[in-house]
């Protein structure tokens, strides 16, 4: 886990040993494999595709940047894979890990920059 981003207009900075950065309305994450800044924090608007991090819902009120395909990023191998706040109904994400805000804050208080995060999928029940 690399860094924590949060919405300073909505919540206090999370308590964690990871680096913490407040989001700004122009923040985005490049998910365009043709972008030289692929799988990186970027500023919007921009000529290439990027995901908006300053959202109307609360899903990105806290985002943990996962060290996935980032050292260096390889175009097309995955981008914008985060740990973030779950929707109230725990609806599936588009490839991220989502936790209730209380659980996410608890996790952040327990980890350090040396903490490893292993994410695996499990098959759907038959």
Q: What is the pLDDT of residues 65-90, one digit of tens each?
A: 999 999 999 999 999 999 999 999 99
Contact 97, 83 (CB under 8 A): yes
In a domain, 124, yes or no: no
Name the burial class of residue 88, with classes exposed (0-12), middle (13-18) and buried (19+) by CB atoms within 10 angstroms of its CB.
Answer: exposed
**In-domain check, residue 24:** yes
The structure tokens listed for 73 are 């990023």
Give a yes or no: residue 125 inside a domain: no
Q: What is the pLDDT of residue 82?
A: 96
How many domains are contained in the chain? 1
Residue 120 covered by a domain: no
Closest of 102, 67, 100 to residue 81, by C-alpha: 67
Q: Is the pLDDT of residue 124 over 70?
A: no
Residue 88 lies in a domain: yes
What three-state secondary structure class fits 99?
A: strand
Q: Where is pLDDT greater, at 95 or 10?
A: 10
Contact assessment for residue 37 and residue 43, using Cβ atoms and an 8 Å cutoff: no
Task: Report yes or no on 57 lying in a domain.
Answer: yes
Domain ranges, residue 54:
3-110
Asked if residue 116 is part of any domain, the answer here is: no
Q: How far apart are CA 9 and CA 65, in angstroms?
A: 20
pLDDT in tens, 11-65: 999 999 999 999 999 999 999 999 999 999 999 999 999 999 999 999 999 999 9
Query: Is 10 inside any structural domain?
Result: yes
Length, in residues, of the chain: 126
């Amino acid at each position: 886990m690399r860094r924590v981003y949060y919405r300073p207009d909505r919540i206090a900075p999370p308590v964690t040993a990871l680096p913490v950065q407040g989001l700004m309305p122009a923040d985005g994450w490049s998910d365009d494999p043709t972008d030289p800044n692929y799988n990186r924090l970027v500023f919007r608007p921009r000529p290439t595709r990027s995901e908006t991090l300053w959202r109307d819902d609360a899903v990105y009120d806290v985002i943990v940047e996962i060290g996935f395909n980032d050292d260096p990023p390889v175009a097309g191998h995955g981008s914008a894979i985060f740990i973030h706040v779950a929707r109230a109904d725990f609806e599936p994400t588009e490839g991220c890990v989502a936790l209730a805000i209380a659980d996410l804050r608890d996790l952040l208080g327990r980890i350090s920059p040396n903490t490893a995060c292993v994410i695996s999928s499990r098959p759907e029940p038959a």
